[in-house]
Amino acid sequence: MSPIGFVGEDRPALTDLQNCIHCGFCLPTCPTYIATGQELESPRGRLHLIRSVLDEKVAPTSTLLGHLDLCLQCRNCETACPSGVPYGRIMEDARASIMDRGVTGRPLGWTLRSLVLRHVIARPKVLAAVFGLGRFYSRSGLQSLVRGPLGRVLPARLRAMESQAPVVRSAPYRDRGTLAHPAEPRGRVALLTGCVHGELYPEVHRATVRVLDRLGFEVVAPPEQGCCGALHVHAGDAEAARDLARANIEAFERAGIDYVLVNAAGCSAAMKEYGRLLRHDAAYAKRAEHFAAKVQDITEFVAAQPFAEAGLGAIEEDVTIQDACHLAHAQKIRSAPRQILRAIPGLRLREMATPDRCCGAAGLYTMVQADMSKQVLAAKLEDLRGTGARVVATSNPGCAMQLENGVRRDGLPVRVQHVIELLDASYTAARR
């Protein structure tokens, strides 16, 4: 293998790339192509670049890799593609190969991103310490001061960076063990508590447990579970993702459960693909496939239950949905969250023109591609305004944080909630 080509076991497959017929149906669905109008910032253009590297016609220089890095990996192009091009896995394989040993031209930023993911996101104690500082920053009033009077004297770049920081006030959710145990459980399910989600949006986990308890399921959270590895896969750090996947498979196997339920769409999508992630691991390949078959997104699972029979109370709200990319495009789940919301009395669903268009969150994208992230978000907020809704329902913490930052910055009278939080509020209203 020439040093200019892809290396390692995760090299993009020629059979995947050959599916592309260059029709261009992906172009009007790609947020970065819409924003730039540049062919190389489209799925078709990026596939051409990847094929050129695979054929050893060009080297993966930092300029070329910049085009790959601008991709949100929203996978909207997969939904639009008439040929079934598996763009998501091609991009993941390309990034993983670039992150593998010694590919010429790998940007330093890719390595630094991997260090953050490995040594902060994947380490619960370190992550808890980081969010502990963030919680102090928010609760102490420093964040309000920086975003108020002090902000007027800060450099513009520093203000822009700080504006991306979340507001972290609620106590984190770090519960493990048995979370709900009805008298006559209908089944035993496990909840992925994950990494960032329980720190940023603990109420989503609490609402999820209450909903599952009301539906009659015993809920457990294996103590040994950890980060699902989704962010690592997207960043090209396949080795770290595989280590995390193996640890989770071990943890959930010991729990003796019927399903693994996930309330973060990016995480459920990644865990459903553990079989492919560990396809080269003889000891885990079959176990990963068996595990992945048990994974369900929480909206997918709840919508298949007689959830309305548990008693729904009225919520008088105009609500719109932001389809999380890895729910709508990676998992092909669109009707489940709408089925749940439409069942809630009083709730008026106001659809956006393009509810499945990416909001610009994409994991760490807001930090590594801040300008493009803001452009994509601006288009989403304009779509949101057109609905007149006062609540945006989503199914992923990254989307929630991105939308919260946007509505706060623009002063919109809108709050962001998980679909399951709205269902939990409806159950609560029914008891009043």
Q: pLDDT per residue over 152-202, tens digit each?
A: 777 777 777 777 777 887 888 888 898 889 889 999 999 999 888 988 999
Its pTM stands at 0.90
In this predicted structure, what is the pLDDT of residue 330? 95
Please, what's the largest Cα pairwise distance for the chain? 69
DSSP string, 378-405: HHHHHHHHHHT-SEEEES-HHHHHHHHH
Q: What is the pLDDT of residues 117-160, one digit of tens each?
A: 888 888 888 988 888 888 887 888 887 887 877 777 777 777 77
In this predicted structure, what is the pLDDT of residue 108? 61
Instruction: Give the three-state DSSP class for 295.
Output: strand
Q: What is the pLDDT of residues 265-316, one digit of tens each?
A: 999 999 999 999 999 999 999 999 999 999 999 999 999 999 998 899 999 9
Q: Span 65-82, mean pLDDT?
A: 91
Beta strands in 233-367 (DSSP E): 259-262, 295-297, 317-321, 347-349
Residue 98 has pLDDT above 50, yes or no: yes
Residue 328 has pLDDT above 90, yes or no: yes
Residue 102 has pLDDT above 60, yes or no: no
- In this predicted structure, which of 13-17, 69-73, 121-125, 268-272 has the lowest mean pLDDT? 121-125
Q: Span 1-24, mean pLDDT?
A: 81
Beta bridge partners of 261: 191, 296
In this predicted structure, what is the pLDDT of residue 2? 43
Whole-angstrom distance, CA of residue 395 vs CA of residue 404:
14
Residue 332 has pLDDT above 70, yes or no: yes
In this predicted structure, what is the pLDDT of residue 106? 57
Residue 210 has pLDDT above 90, yes or no: yes
Phi, psi of 198 (to 5 degrees): -70, -20
DSSP state of 171: P
pLDDT band at 103 (very low <50, low <70, confident <90, very high): very low
Q: Are 362 and 330 in contact (CB under 8 A)?
A: no
Q: Where are the domains of the chain?
A: 14-106, 110-163, 177-302, 313-430
For the domain spanning 14-106, the CATH number is: 1.10.1060.10
Task: Dig out the tokens for 74 from the structure.
Answer: 């929203």
Q: What is the pLDDT of residues 303-320, one digit of tens each?
A: 999 999 889 999 999 999
Task: Dig out the tokens for 343 from the structure.
Answer: 């069942």
Q: What is the pLDDT of residues 337-393, one digit of tens each?
A: 999 999 999 999 999 999 999 999 988 888 788 889 999 999 999 999 999 999 999
Whole-angstrom distance, CA of residue 68 vs CA of residue 38:
13
Residue 101 has pLDDT above 70, yes or no: no
Asked, colleague to colleague, whether 177-302 and 313-430 share their fold, the answer is yes
Residue 53 has pLDDT above 50, yes or no: yes
Task: Dig out the tokens for 146 from the structure.
Answer: 């920086």
Residue scoring higher pLDDT (107 or 341) = 341
Beta bridge partners of 296: 261
In this predicted structure, what is the pLDDT of residue 38? 92
Residue 34 has pLDDT above 90, yes or no: yes
Residue 25 has pLDDT above 60, yes or no: yes
In this predicted structure, what is the pLDDT of residue 109? 64
In this predicted structure, what is the pLDDT of residue 112? 76
For the domain spanning 177-302, the CATH number is: 3.40.50
Distance between first and last Cα of the chain: 68
Topology classification of domain 313-430 = Rossmann fold (3.40.50)
Q: Are 204 and 418 in contact (CB under 8 A)?
A: yes
Residue scoring higher pLDDT (11 or 59) = 11
Q: Which amino acid, residue 304?
A: A
Q: Are 207 and 424 in contact (CB under 8 A)?
A: yes
Q: Are 251 and 224 in contact (CB under 8 A)?
A: yes
Computed over every residue of the chain, the mean pLDDT equals: 90
Task: Indicate the helix (H) or strand (E) that contains 200.
Answer: helix 197-200
DSSP string, 168-219: --SPP----EEEE--SS-SEEEEE--TTTHHHH-HHHHHHHHHHHHHTTEEE
